[in-house]
């Protein structure tokens, strides 16, 4: 079978699509995937590196760029839809799958116009602007959170989870790497998070001054790399600082605690890897979805949430020290994360899509 995957702009929309591509290609020889993304998205760099066939459209976001950005995005949409129709006609997929974000908008609309069965992934508990619009044009919406169905009234909604890459799925079945030092994994998403980078680096200085020993693995993104590396060095803190972690599976396995934003893909990865976490929601996320995502883990006993408006390096340092010195609490958080994980999401999603396409459902 042939599947066209579209979505991106950020890692949160791209990596679930990559997880589905891995599932599609490994489940039967001869299956094909084609990605369609945005020229300006993170997919432009990552997909060629991973060897996937991809087409990139000149499409722009409608939100977050002011009135001129909205008009510019609106003007780019018809041309992108026509280009997407051409790609669909040439590739002739059995199904079109959108993983969210502005990059998939013209593709989902093109699939609807061409009467191709399409599916939409919604990773956050509160659907984004693009997915609320696109839900009108798809056969089914597949959600990561059970409670998301109420935002898609009178629609075909399936709660199957958020797919994670196969290398991370393997962590669900394996034990953590045993290390005599407490290890913290820090990241702000695929492109970094300036506030998280700085507050963590400053908190680690306080922790070091108190004589606590920890290992740090910190993904900063490109912009903050040199500055954060210098902050650790000036504070005398030993840390592995990198712009981007390619082998996230090993990084998760080595971590006793994860500190990050609470985007949907991060939530899915943390739970599948069964890691206790300190979540710092991005306060300007659309519809406050990151805070709502984090609350799901907090209510399950799997995470601590620290809101950016109240957070200081001292509060973060004391939170980390408290968790470090309470191994039973960390163990309980890890177990709860594993309980709410959906490690088989990629397989279950593709089972549903294949059955739908073959007429065995609905």
- Assess whether 85 and 189 both reside in one domain: no
| pLDDT-derived band at 178, boundaries 50, 70, 90 | low
Structure confidence by residue, pLDDT tens digits, 336-348: 999 999 989 999 9
Structural domain that includes position 310: 169-340
Q: Is residue 208 part of a domain?
A: yes
Same domain, residue pair 198 and 244:
yes
In a domain, 104, yes or no: yes
Sort residue 71 into left (φ over 0), alpha (ψ -120 to 50) or beta: alpha
DSSP label of 176? P
The torsion angle over the Cα atoms of residues 266, 271, 274 and 276, rounded to 10 degrees, is 70
Cα separation, 350 vs 4, in Å, equals 13
- 158 and 204, same domain (yes or no): no
Residue 351 lies in a domain: yes
C-alpha 9/C-alpha 354 separation (Å) is: 26
Query: Is 147 found in the same domain as 177?
Result: no
Across-strand partners of 121?
142
Q: Do both 23 and 99 map to the same domain?
A: yes
182, 159: one domain: no
Whether residue 11 is found in the same domain as residue 154: yes
Q: What is the pTM of this model?
A: 0.84
- Indicate which CATH number applies to the domain containing 36: 3.40.50.2000
Domain check: are 79 and 198 in the same one?
no
| 278-325: pLDDT as tens digits | 999 999 887 888 999 999 999 999 999 999 999 999 999 999 999 999
Asked whether residue 362 is domain-assigned, the answer is no
Are 195 and 311 in a shared domain?
A: yes
Number of domains in the chain: 2
Query: Are 199 and 286 contained in the same domain?
Result: yes
Separation between Cα atoms, residue 100 and residue 109, nearest integer Å: 13
Q: Is residue 107 part of a domain?
A: yes
CB-facing half-sphere around the CA of 329: CA atoms within 13 A: 14
Same domain, 191 and 315: yes
| 191 and 231 together in one domain | yes
């Amino acid at each position: 079978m042939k599947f066209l995957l579209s979505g991106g702009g950020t890692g949160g929309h791209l990596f679930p699509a990559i997880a589905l591509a891995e599932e599609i290609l490994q489940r039967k020889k001869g299956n094909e995937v084609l990605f369609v993304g945005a020229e300006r998205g993170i997919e432009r760099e990552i997909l060629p590196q991973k060897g996937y066939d991809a087409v990139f459209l000149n499409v722009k976001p409608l939100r977050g760029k002011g009135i001129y950005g909205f008009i510019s995005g609106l003007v780019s949409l018809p041309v992108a839809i026509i280009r997407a129709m051409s790609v669909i006609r040439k590739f002739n997929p059995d199904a079109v799958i959108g993983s969210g974000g502005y990059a998939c908008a013209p593709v989902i609309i093109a699939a609807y116009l061409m009467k191709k069965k399409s599916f939409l992934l919604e990773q956050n508990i509160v659907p984004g602007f693009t997915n609320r619009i696109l839900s009108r044009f798809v056969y089914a919406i597949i959600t990561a959170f059970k409670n998301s169905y109420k935002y898609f009234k009178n629609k075909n909604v399936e709660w199957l989870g958020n797919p994670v890459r196969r290398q991370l799925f393997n962590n669900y079945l394996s034990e953590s790497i045993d290390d005599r030092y407490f290890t913290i994994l820090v990241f702000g998403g695929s492109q970094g998070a300036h506030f998280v980078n700085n507050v963590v680096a400053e908190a680690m200085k306080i922790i070091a001054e108190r004589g606590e020993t920890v290992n740090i693995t910190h993904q900063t993104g490109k912009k903050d790399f040199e500055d954060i590396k210098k902050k650790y060095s000036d504070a005398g803190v030993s840390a592995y600082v990198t712009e981007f972690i390619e082998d996230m599976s090993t990084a998760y396995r080595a971590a006793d605690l994860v500190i990050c934003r609470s985007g949907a893909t991060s939530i899915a990865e943390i739970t599948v890897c069964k890691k206790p976490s300190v979540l710092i929601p991005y306060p300007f996320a659309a519809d406050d979805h990151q805070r709502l995502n984090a609350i799901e883990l907090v209510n399950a006993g799997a995470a601590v949430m620290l809101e950016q408006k109240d957070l200081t390096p001292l509060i973060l340092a004391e939170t980390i020290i408290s968790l470090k010195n309470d191994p039973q609490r960390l163990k309980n958080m890890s177990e709860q994360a594993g309980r709410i994980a959906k490690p088989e999401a990629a397989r279950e999603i593709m089972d549903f899509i294949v059955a739908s396409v073959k007429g065995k459902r609905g």
